[in-house]
Structures are given as structure tokens and as C-alpha cells.
Amino acid sequence: MATAAASKKNGSHKSTLVATPSVKQARLLIDGKWVAAKSGKTFATFNPATEQKIADVAEADAADVDLAVKAARKSLESGPWATMDARDRGRLINKLADLVEANLDELAALETLDNGKPIRDSKAADLPLVVDCLRYYAGWADKIKGDTVPVRGNFFCYTRREPVGVVGQIIPWNFPLLMVAWKWGPALATGCTIVLKPAEQTPLSALRLGELALEAGIPKGVINLVPGYGPTAGAALVKHPGVDKIAFTGSTETGQLIMRDAAATLKRTTFELGGKSPNIVFADANLDAAIAGAEFGLFFNQGQCCCAGSRLFVEQKIHDEFVEKLVKRAKTRKLGNPFDPNTTQGPQVDQAQFDKILGYIDAGHKAGAKCLTGGKRFGKTGFYIEPTVFTEVTDDMPIAVDEIFGPVLSVLPFKSTDEVIRRANATNFGLAAAVWTRDIGKAHQIAHSVRAGTVWVNCYDVFDAAAPFGGFKQSGIGRELGEAALSNYTELKTVTVSLG
């Protein structure tokens, strides 16, 4: 995910390595205190570029989650947060954004260390988007309001938007800190309290942000952090009767599991899940821009984007020329040490993702697709995979159907607008799509016909804190970002007063 500006920043960096940061925090945050897990257990987090352990992190399970939920409940119902003026909540969120800005280099380096993403992306995309998201929701804090309702009879009726309560937030590893910001921004603005479980692959930046939240003056117990594994810490959060709402970002399979687990306590749930997004290029497009967009839309963040443009539909008459230029461009991607500011592609996050992606590359070969570039591991250490482009792909091949979550692009030729709309929609996913054309009518026809939560026209991965994001179909339920996210974190209350 990136701003358009970030995507244009290329090649002007000096090749000095950015220093790796020290890990300042590796414990649980419960009721304003940094503590070990009750069990005493820890788990290791690794640097995916070196495969070396970075740190042992306290491993929360059900007992710790219970304490965290109780702390969040207490601070929801009593203490400074419960009675704080909305504008002062906004001020605290802005203070947190100030501290993120003041510590931007350190946080960006921590993100690169734990996740493997190139430092140029951490600095130019992840961190600025975190700051922007927090500031956007800081501005909302004192603007969340109800209505007066013209009911029959001698009554005064009005609505209030009240915090949904204690929210459990479970996030993935692909944009560790940005996913925290997407979750905390609207939760804090609406006055909720939080128990967040970062992904087991990338807990470090969320823990550091927890320290900054305390430094900003966000009262104890408002934000609690329970790093650990999904089936233990994550599932305990989903099942806990003291949690009012679960916000989840991750795989569709885990989303289904969480939906089932949340049913017993009828929790409010929002989901941001997987995708297999169509990126559609018509022959009349600005081809250089479309090629750059096809590369960026798939390879950015090592292909580990829920909205990755992994099905590239190219109009038949420009197919060969387009593919030739795209392959040339894919070959210029610079793989290597993510702390080198010239690196544009880092390692995949872990062995499991690395194995899954190589499995799909293998499946592509077996199904008869043609691999024009890449297809192998890069180097001997670290979970690097070469930028890979397949042609002669058919819609039913696994590489065209499943979310691969890696640097593997499937190119699919098409002949007509109706055909490409039908094929773009022939998927269980519906997160994002893009269309490249100079024909404004065709652009809007595609934008209205493709069943996806976001459609980009002549651009890709342009994100903004104000613009809602989320999925149709099995890509999710609900929207994050923008005003839309506020309704995920509020209950609507109707008050009727007799005037008789």
C-alpha cells in the first residue's frame, strides 16, 4: 500500500545501509504495565532476510488475554478515558501521531527488521500512512454525533453514537504498524478500549507503538497488547465474553473460523480478508503508466498485499508488446538487503509463506502456464523469491484462482469489455480492481461493473485515510478507513423523552 508519490520515488538514494534498531519492548502491555506472560512462555521473532532470531517475545495465551480484557473493560467504564471530552481524546491521538513522526526512522527500521520490507518502503509508505491515519481519526473524535428524530406524538427523540465497548483487534504481518493504525484510529476516536493481538511473525513495531501510546498520555488500560499465536491468544480474544467486537485482518480461512467462534457471544465483527484482484489493461491505455502500475500493483511489498493486482488482464492486441516490456521491468527489481535504501524487493515474511509461494509456482508449471521470468529462490539465505511472471494462464489454474500472496503475476489476455467484466467477477473474492484506459466511459463502466470494494482507474494502490477500504464477497465484511470505519466502533442508541 502506498501513496502515488511514494510509488514514483525511485533510484535517488545513496547505497548506505540503514542501521538496524535495538528492540526496546518485547513484553505484553496490560493495564499500562509491561509484563511477562502468566505462563512465562516466550516465542521467537525472526529477521526474514537473515533467518536469524531477533528477540524472544512474551507469549500471551487465554490467561493473559483475560487480564487484558478486564483492564480494557475497567478503563471503558471508569477512570479518565470513560469521562474524557471527545476533543481531548482527539488531542491524545494527535500526540501519538507526533511521537510516531518523532521516532519515524526507528519505527521504519524496526518494521524492516521484523517484516523484511525494504527500508525505502517503510519510510516512504508505511510510516507516513500511519501518521496520516492517526491524524485523520484524531480529527473525527469530536465530530461523531447523533440525530434528532421527528417521531409521532409529544416526544423528543434523539440518537447517540456510543462506543461499541471493548474491542479485540487481530492483525496480520504484511503491514504490521499500518494495520495497528487502521485499527486504533477509529477505536480511539470513538472512545472504545482495545486489546490488540499483533501477528506472531511481526510483533515488534506494535509493541513499540504501545510504549509511545503511554508516552502520549493515553490512559492505562485503554490499549492492551497481547502478542502470541492465533489459535491460543487470538481465539481466546474472539471467545472472551468481555469483548464486544472483533476487528480482523488476515486470511479468508481464519476469518471464517473467527466468524464461527464469535457467534457464541454474538460479537460484532468486521473482516478484511484475502483477494485475487483483477488489474485490467485496455489497448488505448497509457501503456508506460499501465506497465508501471502492473509491476507496482503486484510486486509492491513482495506481493504480500491483500489487494495485489495478481490477475493482470491485458487486451489481446497489445498482449505481446505489453508482456515483453513488463518482463523487462520485472527484471530490474533490486532484491537484497532490505536495509539498503536501493533495495526494492525484500524477502517474504517467513518460511511458511516462502514454501506456499514456491508451491504455487510449481503448480503454475504443472498446469502448463509459461514462466517468462523468475520462478526460483533468490540467493541462499533469507526467504527471497524472484519476481515471477506467468503467461498462457487460464482462468481455472490455481495461480489464477487462489491468493498466492507473493511476487507471482498471472497474465490473462482478453478481447472485449463484456468478456473481461465477466472473467474479472468470476472469483469468490472482491477486494480491489483496477482499469487502465483513456476512454472515460469504459473506465466508469468497469468501475461500476466489477464487484470489488475499491476500483482504481489509471492508478493502483492509492490509499488515503479518508477513503473507505474493504471487500465485497469473501474478501470481507465492513469497511475500514474513512467515516465508514466509525460505524464499526459505535452502537446507535435511541433516546425518547416524553414532553407531556
Residues designated as active site? 272, 306
Site for Mg ion in 191-220 (CB under 5 A): 201
**Taking CB under 6 A as the rule, does residue 36 contact ligand NAI?**
no
Q: Which listed range, 50-58, 182-190, 195-203, 448-456, lies at the site for ligand NAI (CB under 6 A)? A: 195-203
Distance separating the N- and C-terminal Cα atoms of the chain: 56
**Which residue lies nearer to ligand NAI by CB, 121 or 200?**
200
141: partner contacted, choices Mg ion, ligand NAI, none (Cβ within 5-8 A by kind): none
Q: Is there a contact between 196 and 180 (Cβ–Cβ < 8 Å)? A: yes
E strand spans, 117-273: 148-149, 155-163, 166-170, 193-197, 223-225, 245-249, 268-272
Residue (of 335, 319, 279) closest to 461 by Cα position: 279
Q: Which listed range, 3-11, 148-156, 233-241, 459-467, lies at the site for ligand NAI (CB under 6 A)? A: 233-241
**Taking CB under 6 A as the rule, does residue 461 contact ligand NAI?**
no
Helix count and strand count (H, E) for the chain: 17, 20
CB of 352 to ligand NAI, least distance (A): 7
CB of 173 to ligand NAI, least distance (A): 6
CB of 83 to ligand NAI, least distance (A): 33
| Residue appearing with cell numbers 474479472 | 424
Q: Is there a contact between 298 and 7 (Cβ–Cβ < 8 Å)? A: no
384: partner contacted, choices Mg ion, ligand NAI, none (Cβ within 5-8 A by kind): none
Kindly tell me which residue out of 58, 109, 170, 222 binds ligand NAI, with binding defined by CB under 6 A. 170
Which helix (H) or strand (E) segment holds residue 254: the answer is: helix 252-263
Q: Is there a contact between 339 and 382 (Cβ–Cβ < 8 Å)? A: no
Distance CA(385)–CA(370), nearest Å, equals: 17
Site for Mg ion in 44-63 (CB under 5 A): 45-46
**Taking CB under 5 A as the rule, does residue 174 contact Mg ion?**
no
114: partner contacted, choices ligand NAI, Mg ion, none (Cβ within 5-8 A by kind): Mg ion
172: partner contacted, choices Mg ion, ligand NAI, none (Cβ within 5-8 A by kind): ligand NAI
Count the residues of the shown chain that bind ligand NAI, applying the rule CB under 6 A: 26
Task: Point out the residue whose Cβ comes nearest to ligand NAI.
Answer: 230
**Which residue lies nearer to ligand NAI by CB, 207 or 235?**
235
Angle between helices 127-140 and 86-102 (to 10 degrees): 170
Torsion of CA 116, 118, 119, 123, to 10 degrees: -110
Residue (of 209, 206, 179, 224) closest to 68 by Cα position: 224
Site for Mg ion in 90-119 (CB under 5 A): 114
Angle between helices 86-102 and 176-189 (to 10 degrees): 160
- Cα angle 72-76-82, degrees, rounded to a multiple of 5: 145
**Taking CB under 6 A as the rule, does residue 62 contact ligand NAI?**
no
**Which residue lies nearer to ligand NAI by CB, 172 or 387?**
172
**Contact set with Mg ion (CB under 5 A):** 45-46, 114, 201
**Contact set with ligand NAI (CB under 6 A):** 170-172, 174, 197, 199-200, 229-231, 234-235, 238, 249-251, 254, 257-258, 273-274, 306, 353, 356, 403, 405
